[in-house]
């Protein structure tokens, strides 16, 4: 069981929040728009709470469920309020037509978030290769992860298992670049005829 704070109130926040509660975790929803955060917490039910924007989240694991362009600004704004937290970056930095990444070729949103966060914050990339409706559909899927801190990755892996999904460790945080690229690859597969009801996974 984990304590989870979710910054954001969109489709991924909703899908992860619902699965988290079902899996016996506690969930706090935080939004810059407090009304939206309250609405999501109410919709989730099951004891979901709301937190105060900018204050230290109550969760051990903080899911950064904002649009990619907001990830670094939000983490910068939070500053020391994220000290000692595990921050999970789920974003996909697609360019306008989802044919390329809108970040530098030797970095990733996750690495940029790690640079912006306090030194005691551990950043893990995860969930970005999953469409929210596929993540929430119930069938077990592979959740690829990348991060530099083994303990933080183990905590996120346990959380992923509580959701009924399979954690798949891809290595250190520099692999986040290729996980973001895998998100792009999925967009290519979708456009080339596969549609959006699938996920990349491991066949072993």
Q: Which residues bind its own copies (CB under 8 A)?
A: 99, 105-106, 139, 141-142, 144, 146, 168-171, 174-175, 177-179, 181-182, 184-185, 188-189, 191-194, 197-204
Tell me the closest approach of the beta carbon of residue 171 to its own copies, in angstroms: 4
Tell me the closest approach of the beta carbon of residue 101 to its own copies, in angstroms: 9
Asked whether 37 and 44 are in contact (CB, 8 A), the reply is: no
| Choice between 82 and 90, CB closer to its own copies | 90
| Nearest residue to 111 via CA among 23, 171, 151 | 171
| Choice between 81 and 134, CB closer to its own copies | 134
- SS3 letters for 100-121? CECCCCCCCHHHHHHHHCCCCC
What is the rounded distance in angstroms from the CA atom of residue 167 to the CA atom of residue 158? 8
| Choice between 41 and 146, CB closer to its own copies | 146
Tell me the closest approach of the beta carbon of residue 5 to its own copies, in angstroms: 26
- Give the torsion through C-alpha atoms of 4, 113, 98, 90, to 10 deg: -10
Token pair belonging to 7: 């910054």
Tell me the closest approach of the beta carbon of residue 88 to its own copies, in angstroms: 17
| Choice between 47 and 139, CB closer to its own copies | 139
Tell me the closest approach of the beta carbon of residue 193 to its own copies, in angstroms: 6
Backbone φ/ψ region at 64: left (φ over 0), alpha (ψ -120 to 50), beta: beta
What is the rounded distance in angstroms from the CA atom of residue 98 to the CA atom of residue 183? 9
| Choice between 57 and 183, CB closer to its own copies | 183
């Amino acid at each position: 069981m984990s304590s989870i704070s979710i910054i954001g109130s969109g489709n991924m926040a909703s899908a992860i929040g619902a699965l988290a509660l079902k899996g016996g975790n506690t969930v706090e929803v935080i939004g810059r728009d407090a009304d939206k955060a309250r609405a999501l917490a109410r919709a989730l039910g099951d004891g979901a709470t709301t937190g105060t924007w900018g204050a230290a989240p109550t969760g051990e694991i903080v899911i950064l469920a904002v649009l990619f362009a907001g990830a670094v600004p939000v983490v910068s704004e939070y500053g020391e309020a994220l000290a000692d937290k595990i921050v999970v970056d789920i974003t996909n930095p697609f360019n306008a037509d989802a044919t390329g990444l809108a970040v530098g070729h030797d970095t990733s949103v996750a690495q940029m978030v790690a640079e912006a966060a306090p030194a005691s914050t551990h950043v893990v990339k995860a969930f970005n290769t999953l469409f929210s409706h596929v993540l929430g559909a119930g069938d077990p899927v592979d959740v690829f992860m990348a991060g530099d801190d083994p303990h933080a990755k183990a905590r996120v892996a346990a959380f992923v298992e509580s959701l009924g999904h399979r954690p798949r460790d891809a290595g250190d945080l520099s692999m986040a670049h290729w996980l973001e690229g895998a998100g792009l690859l999925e967009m290519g597969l979708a456009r080339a005829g596969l549609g959006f009801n699938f996920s990349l996974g491991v066949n072993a």
